[in-house]
Amino acid sequence: MTAFIGRKMISMGISAMSLNQPLVRSRVFASRAYSSAAKEMTVRDALNSAIDEEMSADSKVFLMGEEVGEYQGAYKISKGLLDKYGPDRVLDTPITEAGFAGIGVGAAYYGLKPIVEFMTFNFSMQAIDHIINSAAKSNYMSSGQISVPIVFRGPNGAAAGVGAQHSQCYAAWFAACPGLKVLSPYSSEDARGLLKAAIRDPDPVIFLENELLYGESFPVSAEVLDSSFFVPIGKAKIEREGKDVTITTFSKMVGYALKAADVLVKEGISAEVINLRSIRPLDRSTINDSVRKTNRLVTVEEGFPQHGVGAEICACVVEESFEYLDAPVERITGADVPMPYAANLERLAVPQIEDIVRAAKRACYRSVPMAATA
* H helix or E strand, kind and range, residue 129: helix 128-129
DSSP 3-state of 116: strand
- What is the C-alpha separation between 106 and 102, in angstroms, rounded? 6
Average pLDDT per consecutive 10 residues, the chain (374 residues; last block may be shorter) = 52 48 31 50 98 98 97 96 97 96 98 98 96 98 97 94 91 98 98 99 98 97 96 98 99 98 97 99 98 99 96 98 98 96 93 98 82 46
User: Looking at residue 35, what is its pLDDT?
Assistant: 37
**Does domain 237-366 bear CATH number 3.40.1790.10?**
no
- What is the C-alpha separation between 206 and 132, in angstroms, rounded? 11
Q: Where are the alpha helices (DSSP H) in 130-252?
A: 138-141, 171-175, 188-200, 222-225
User: Looking at residue 18, what is its pLDDT?
Assistant: 44
Q: Note whether 330 and 362 are within 8 A (CB).
A: yes
97 belongs to the catalytic site: yes
Delimit the domains of the chain by residue range.
38-225, 237-366
- What is the C-alpha separation between 332 and 206, in angstroms, rounded? 23
Using a CB cutoff of 8 Å and minimum separation of 24, what contacts does 257-261 make? 257/300, 257/356, 259/353, 260/353, 260/354, 260/356, 260/357, 260/360
Please pick, among 53, 54, 130, 166, the residue that the annotation labels catalytic: 166
Q: Where are the alpha helices (DSSP H) in 231-308?
A: 253-265, 284-294
374 by Cβ neighbours in 10 Å (0-12 / 13-18 / 19+) ranks as exposed
User: Looking at residue 9, what is its pLDDT?
Assistant: 56
- What is the C-alpha separation between 351 and 14, in angstroms, rounded? 48
Q: Note whether 183 and 166 are within 8 A (CB).
A: no
Secondary structure E strands in 198-341: 205-209, 217-221, 237-240, 245-249, 271-275, 278-280, 297-300, 330-332
From the CB of residue 106, how many other CB atoms can be counted at a distance below 10 Å?
19
User: Looking at residue 334, what is its pLDDT?
Assistant: 97
From the CB of residue 110, how many other CB atoms can be counted at a distance below 10 Å?
18
Please pick, among 53, 66, 97, 302, the residue that the annotation labels catalytic: 97
240, β-bridge pairs: 273
Which residues, at least 6 apart from 170, have a Cβ–Cβ distance to it below 8 Å? 121, 122, 124, 156, 206, 208, 303
221, β-bridge pairs: 37
DSSP 3-state of 298: strand
Strand duo 151-155 + 205-209: pairing: parallel
**Does domain 38-225 bear CATH number 3.40.50.970?**
yes
Apex CA 75: angle with CA 73 and CA 81, to 5°?
A: 40
248, β-bridge pairs: 274, 299
Tell me the pTM.
0.88
Q: Do domains 38-225 and 237-366 have the same CATH topology?
A: yes
166 belongs to the catalytic site: yes
Determine the distance from the C-alpha atom of residue 41 to the mean position of all C-alpha atoms in its chain, rounded to a whole number: 18
Which residues, at least 6 apart from 2, have a Cβ–Cβ distance to it below 8 Å? 106
Q: Which of 78, 259, 52, 95 is nearest to 154 (CA)?
A: 78
User: Looking at residue 10, what is its pLDDT?
Assistant: 57
